[in-house]
Amino acid sequence: MQAISPSTPNNLKYLIGTSPSTNRVAPNRIIVKCVYGYDSANLCKGTVSSRADWQTSCAILASKVVSQEQSSTDKTGGGADHVAAINGHKTSITDLSLVPIGELANGGSDNNRQLQPKPLTISDLSPAPMHGSQLRVAYQGVPGAYSEAAAGKAYPNCEAIPCDQFEVAFQAVELWIADRAVLPVENSLGGSIHRNYDLLLRHRLHIVGEVQLPVHHCLLTLPGVRKEYLNRVISHPQALAQCEHTLTKLGLNVAREAVDDTAGAAEYVATNNLRDTAAIASARAAELYGMQVLADGIQDDPSNVTRFVMLAREPIIPRTDRPFKTSIVFAHDKGTSVLFKVLSAFAFRNISLTKIESRPHRNNPIRLVDDANVGTAKHFEYMFYVDFEASMAEVRAQNALAEVQEFTSFLRVLGSYPMDMTPWCPSSDSRGD
């Protein structure tokens, strides 16, 4: 897949034209379905592979504009023989193929009355703003998914880019198709999303923020369908589990089938005109796919919240003027016996842990210990993910990690980022989730 400029939306059309598995679902929306390695041979066609290349190209364009402005202000000594310096090379202004903007504004020829597109500048390729404006945010699912609502809460007014898999969202950011990714890592009822913890370790993206989203499930059907007509209910496995008791109270003792995501279930029912099937999804999904809300707020526990993390290519600068959280992952060659020492490093400095998660060590899942008397012992090896309430700008956090590094064979900081301190909002008030 081609690496594209992060600030030129038209390049997405070029991507759609070359990728065999990109499906358009709505105007101005794309779903990224797979990512292949980009072809460096196409760099000469206008695609660039790094930020440095973009800035160099912009510098050339900017210097052309400066040369043009100088030639227009110097009426006597300029003219066609005026010489401009571009990246240290002298070039005649006639070789720049610039259109005098002043002439176009004043009338000029009849064929060139319309202003030409403004050349790119360095500011056009600067890092995307931090508060949502013009950001392209990747999420897993289809429009109407809870992840789309989390992306909108994290970055208002962003351009949400749906992806069919979690790993595709990671790759979309790495290949500059998206500026950020918003992905779930844990739910208050279902626990951790282990897949994303594994992907955090596999990829080199940084956590730059978090957002907590109340989950508000609805039972959706085609218009005019009553619950007596239903033979099955489909949704994401966690959504089915979170609504199990409520479905029983509603008298829906029907088959329950799992699909990839909640909004995808609603889309499936609407697309195939299934009048005997209901979907568990959000109220926004009902609006998008023309379905009716047969039952509202069917989650068993009203305190159903999913925590999402925001991922970027570059980390943010830690601060101390607001509450921060830091996420790390570590392992040790000699197993879990070091865990107490690691936790003590935080306890002695009064640093609160908000989460600890263990995942199998993929490269070395089993450690064998031979004993001549009793035989060979087999121990599982784990990676440990820890979140703690402190900023990496604080001395106590720096000292704690320095001590942790002494006890571990592997330590990586996944990110130090602001905590989500928004007021608690009951799930019944959330319609866009």
Q: Point out the residues that are catalytic.
A: 306, 308
Give the separation between CA 337 and CA 357, rounded to whole angstroms: 16
Are the beta carbons of 362 and 392 closer than 8 angstroms?
no
Q: What is the DSSP letter of 424?
A: P
Beta strands in 372-422 (DSSP E): 375-380, 382-388, 410-418
Run of H or E including 288 = helix 283-289
Nearest to 24 by CA among 36, 12, 35: 12
Provide the β-strand partners of residue 139. 162
With 0-12 / 13-18 / 19 or more C-beta atoms within 10 angstroms meaning exposed / middle / buried, residue 101 is middle
Are the beta carbons of 161 and 32 closer than 8 angstroms?
yes
How far is residue 96 from each of residues 93, 99, 100, 372, measured CA to CA in Å? 5, 9, 11, 81
Q: What is the DSSP letter of 28?
A: T
User: Taking CA 351 as the corner, what is the angle to CA 350 and CA 355, rounded to the nearest 5 degrees?
Assistant: 140
User: Taking CA 326 as the corner, what is the angle to CA 323 and CA 332, rounded to the nearest 5 degrees?
Assistant: 155
Are the beta carbons of 281 and 257 closer than 8 angstroms?
no
* Tokens read off for 193: 């999303």
